[in-house]
Chain A
Amino acid sequence: MKRVGIDVGGTNTDAILINDGVVEYSVKVATTPNITDGMIGALKLVAERGGDIRGIDAVMVGTTHFINAVVQRKDLKPVGAIRIGSPATTALPPFCDWPRDLADLILGGVWIVEGGHDYDGRRFMPLDLVAVRSAARQIRDAGLRSVAVTAMFSPLDPQDESTVAEILEQEVPDVRVTSSHRLGRIGLLERENAALLNASLADLADDVIGGFRKAISRLGITAPLFITQNDGTIASAQRAIEFPVFSFASGATNSMRGAAHLSNINKAVVADVGGTTTDFGHLRQGFPREANSVVHVGGVRTFFRMPDVVSIGVGGGTLVDPERLTIGPQSVGFRLTEQALIFGGDRLTLTDIAVAAGILDLGDRSRVARIKSSLVKDVLSLVKSRVEDNIDRIKTEAGDVTLIVVGGGGFLIPEQIEGVAHVVRVANGDCANAVGAAVAQVCGEVDQIFQDVSRTDAILEASSIAKQRAVDAGASTKSLVIVDEEAIPVAYLPGNAMRVRVRIVGDIEAVKNLQLSTA
C-alpha cells in the first residue's frame, strides 16, 4: 500500500511517500502563509523526484493550524453554548474559566437547561424540552450557526446531547453542533471547553481541510484524505472537519509514531531533536503515552488526549554561553545557516560545539578550531546530563530503556547515556513526523465508570465497546489491537466503582470503501 504523509509545521512542510511501510521519497519545503500552497509545493517536489503521487492509496496530513488559530486568536467564530445540568452547575457557567480576550471572540450566548445524568447512569433531571426549543430559537434569531452542547455525565449517557442536537437541527438552518460526549472524558468544564473550542473552529476546519482536498485534487490525486489526530490515529477528512480539536497536538505525536515505525520498536523513549527544543516522549505499544492531567490550549483548560511530552531548550541552534557555561534556552532557530560560527556567523551554537568535537561534519570546521577542548567537553557533558535527567523523567518504570533519536539535531544525543540500554538512530529520522502521519491508524476509545463488576469483566465490557467504535471509524476487524487499558478505583463511590479507559486501534484496510463514503 502506498501512502503520502505530510506534516504541515510552523516552519517546514515535510512530505514523504511510503510504499508498504518503506520510505521511497522524502522532501522538505518552507511552510507558506496559505498552507495549501506549501502542501502543493511539497507534493509536486515528490512527483518531480519520480514519486507516483497519483498511484497512492491515501494522503495523511498532520497540521498545527488549528491549535495556532486558538493560540493566535485568529479565524475563530462565535458559538452558542447549551449546557444540560440545571439546577446544578449554574454557579460555574460556560466560559467561566476562559481568558477574557478569547471568550470575547467566541461567546455568542449561553443557555443552561435542566437535564443530564448521574455517575451511575440514573437521570439527574428530566430534559427540559421546552427550554431547549426556546434556546434553539434564540440561537437562530441571534444568527449563531455553531453550537456546543454539553450534558452532565454525557460520556456515560449521551442521550440528552443527542436530543438537543436533533432539536437544533430542526430549528436552526445550517447549524453545526458539537456534542461534548464525542470529545472527551468526565470533567464537565474541561469537556465543555473542548466542545466550545471545537465549535469555534467549524468554519476554519471547512476552509483548511477543504483547501487540502482541493490541493490534492488539483494535482490529480484521487486517493482519500485523512487528517492525523492527537493520539496518533487518523480521521477521515469529513470527521476532521467535524472535530478539528483532535488534531491539535498531531506534530509531537506524529514524530513519535514515525520513530516507532522507522525503528520497528514499539516500546522506547523517543527524543525528537529540533533546532530549538528536544521533545522527549514515551512510546508504549507504538503509541505515545498520553498526559493524564489538564492540558491548557491558548489558556483554556481541557482534558485533551495529548501525548505526554517533556520539552527542553536543547537543539541544533541552541546558544552556548562560554563564560557562564550555560546552554539555551535561546536558539538561532531557522537562522542557523546564517548565524552559527561554522556558517560564517558570530553566534556559538550547539551545532558549532558538535563540529568542534568532531561528532558532526558540517560547514567550515576551521572556524571552530580555536574553541578550547575543555569547553567542548564541558558543554557536551552538560547536554548529556540534561538528556539523562529528562529521559529519567519520562520513563514509566524502573530499568534501562531504548532511546530512539529522530530530528535534525540528533547528533547532540551521545551513544552512552545513563538509564539507556541502547540508542537507536534511524534513516529518514529527520522527517519522522511525516512518516508518523503516513502510518497512522484508526482508533476506538472508552472512558466509563463501572460498578459491581470485577475488574476483568469491566475491562472486557469496555474493550468490546471500544472495538465497535474502532470498526465504526473504519478499522478492519482483524487488525484490532488494544493499546491502552487502565482501571482506576474511584474513592467514595459505592459498589467498588472503577473508571475504565480502553483504547483500541486498527489499520484502515477499507481505504477504498472509505474513499467512496467520504468523496
Chain B
Amino acid sequence: MIELGLEDIEALAVGAWILGTGGGGSPYHALLNLRRLYESGLRIQLISPAELDDDDRVAVVSFQGAPLVLQERLVDSRSCARAVELMQEYLGRTFRAVMGIEVGGGNGMQPLLAAAHLGIPVVDADSMGRAYPEAQMTTFAVGGLSPAPLTSVDPRGNEVVVANVGTWKWMERTSRKICTEFGSIANTCKAPRSGAEVKAWGIRGSTSKAIRLGRAVRQARQHHEDPIEAILRIESGKLLFSGKVVEVDRRTTEGFLRGKATIAAPDASEDKIIIDFQNEWIVAWRGQEPVAMSPDLICVLDSDTGEALGTEIIRYGQRVTIIALPAPPLFLTPRGLEHVGPHAFGYDIPFRSVFVQ
C-alpha cells in the first residue's frame, strides 16, 4: 500500500486522459475536486490487487452519462462516495477497497474521489484499461461475472438499486434509462467484486500505469523533451503516424458520437490515416487496410505537447501523432475479442494486433 501524493494525482489526470483513447470525458473537474480534498488534509492510499484477500469485497465505481452535463453539474466526490455507501446499505456489508470501471478519462479519477470520503484504499486496477462506451465492454463481462447489483444516485437524494438483470446488455439498458431520468448524469456503483475476482479478471496496475504515463509527459515538458517519445519508451508503445488533421466527420447515432478523422502526412507523399471513432478511437485505416484496432489502444496526441485529443474536440489543422499502446491480455482471448474486438463495433475484419508482426 502506498499513499498517493498530489503530484501523483496531477500525473494521473494527464495519463487518464491519454488512456481515454479519445473519450471518457476530461479529468479536469475531478482533479480540481481532488486538489481541494488534499488541501483539506484527506489522503488516498493505493493498493495492488495482490494485497486483497480472496473474500474481500471491492466496490466498482463510475460516472454514467454525458460529459457535457457534467460541465454544468460539476463533479462531486461526495456523490461518488454515496453510490458506494448505498451499495453497502443494500448488501449489509462494507467494502475493503474501491476501484474504477475504466481508467480512461474522468472515470480514471472516480475511485479516488469516492475513496477520499470512504477512508478505504483504491485498488490499482480497472476493467477496461482505457475508456469504452458500453458496460459490457469490460474484463468483468468477459469473465462472465455477475452484472448486478448496481446503485445509481444523483445529488438530490434520488437513489436507485438495480437488484437483478439477465445480462450485461440489460444492465446497460436499465441503468442508462435511470441515468437519463436523473438528467443524463449519474454516479454509479457497479456490481461489487470479490478480491479473487479482481485478481482473476481485473486489469492490474491500470492506475499506476496512468500515473507513470502522466509523469513521463509532465517531466518531458518540464525538460523540453519530446513527451511522445517518453510515452512510447515507458509503455512499449508504437508510433503509427504523424501528420495533420485534414477532415473530421461527426454524427450521433443511438446516443453515441460516431465518425472519423483523417490525418494526412505533412509531406507530399499523400499518405494518410483515417481513424473511425465511437466515442473512442476504434480502428485506424490506411486505405482499405486496417493498421490498428481495438482492443489495442489508439491514442491521438498533440504532436508538440503530448496532450491527448478527444473525439469531441479534435479539429482540422491540429498537428497530431497517433500511437498504439498494447491491449490488456484479458481482451486478447477469443472471449475478450467478442466484447471489444472489431466485431463488437460492427467491423467485419479479424483482429490483428500492431504488436504482433
Judge whether B183 and A118 touch: CB under 8 Å: yes
A85 to chain B, nearest CB (A): 8
Binds B, one of A247-255, A367-375, A494-502: A494-502
- Expressed in whole angstroms, the Cα–Cα distance for A92 and B28 within the complex equals 11
Task: Tell me if B's interface is mostly helix, strand, loop or mixed.
Answer: mixed
- Pair B257/A491 contact, Cβ less than 8 Å: yes
* B73 proximal to A (CB < 8 A): yes
A493 and B32 within 8 A (CB): no
**Contact A491:B66 (CB < 8 A) given known A91-B36, A119-B183, A398-B246:** yes
Residues of B within 8 A of A85 (CB): 72-74
Question: Digit string of B316-332 for contact with A (CB within 8 Å is 1, else 0)?
Answer: 11010000000000000
A220 within 8 A of B: no
B75 touches A92 (CB 8 A): yes
CA distance A90 to B279 in the complex (A): 29
List residues of chain A with CB within 8 A of the CB of B67.
491-492
Interface residues of A in 57-90 (CB under 8 A from B): 85, 87-90
A186 proximal to B (CB < 8 A)? yes
Q: Is the CB of A392 closer than 8 A to any CB of chain B?
A: yes
> Measured between alpha carbons, how far is A85 from B72 in the docked complex, in Å?
9
Chain B 69-86 near chain A by CB (<8 Å), digits 1 or 0: 101111111110000000
**CB of A267 closer than 8 Å to a CB of B:** no
Q: In the complex, which residue of chain B has the Cβ closest to the Cβ of A185?
A: B71
Instruction: Decide yes or no whether B173 CB sits under 8 A from chain A.
Output: no
Which residues from chain A contact B251 at a C-beta distance below 8 Å?
489
Cα(A499)–Cα(B66), bound, Å: 13
Is A25 among interface residues, defined by CB-CB distance under 8 A? no
Interface 1/0s, chain A 495-515, versus B by CB < 8 A?
011110000000000000000
Check: B184 CB closer than 8 A to any chain A CB. Answer: yes
| Residues of the B chain whose Cβ atoms lie less than 8 Å from the Cβ of A189 | 29, 74
**A119 pairs with B184, CB closer than 8 A:** yes
Asked if A87 and B32 make an inter-chain contact with CB atoms under 8 angstroms apart, the answer reads no
Complex Cα–Cα for A19 and B33 (A): 55
Q: Which residues of A contact B255 (CB under 8 A)?
A: 491-494
- Does chain A have a CB within 8 A of B199? no
Asked if A124 is an interface residue, CB under 8 A from chain B, the answer is yes
Which residue of chain B is the closest to A499 with respect to CB atoms? B68
**What are the residues of chain B within 8 A of A489 when measuring CB–CB?**
250-252, 257
A207 to B36, CA, bound (A): 37
Shortest CB distance B63–A (Å): 10
Q: Which residues of A contact B313 (CB under 8 A)?
A: 292-293
Q: Please give, as numbers and ranges, the residues of chain A lying within 8 Å of B319 by CB-CB distance.
A: 393
Q: Residue B347 at the A interface, CB < 8 A? A: no
Q: How near does chain B come to A450, taking the closest CB pair, in angstroms?
A: 12
B74 and A491 within 8 A (CB)? no
A281 → chain B, closest Cβ, in Å? 12
Bound complex: CA A187 to CA B36 (Å): 20
Looking at B33, B65, B74, B76, the one whose CB has the most chain A CB atoms below 10 A away is B74
Q: Does B315 contact A (CB under 8 A)?
A: yes
Highest count of chain A CB atoms <10 Å: which of B72, B155, B180, B250: B72
Taking the complex as formed, is B312 at the interface, i.e. its CB lies under 8 A from any CB of chain A? yes
* Distance (whole angstroms) from the CB of A95 to the closest CB of chain B: 11
Give CA–CA (A85, B69) in the complex, Å: 13
Let me know if B68 and A91 touch, CB within 8 A: no
A20 at the binding interface (Cβ < 8 Å): no
Instruction: Report, nearest first, the 5 A-B pairs whose CB atoms are least far apart.
Output: A489-B252, A491-B257, A492-B66, A91-B76, A88-B155
Interface residues of A, Cβ cutoff 8 Å to B: 85, 87-92, 96-97, 116, 118-120, 122, 124-125, 152-153, 186-189, 292-293, 392-398, 488-494, 496-499
Instruction: Supply 23 A–B pairs (Cβ within 8 Å), ascending by A.
Output: A88-B73, A88-B79, A88-B156, A91-B78, A92-B33, A92-B76, A96-B36, A97-B32, A116-B72, A119-B184, A122-B183, A152-B73, A153-B72, A186-B68, A188-B72, A392-B244, A395-B317, A398-B264, A491-B255, A491-B279, A493-B69, A494-B255, A496-B252
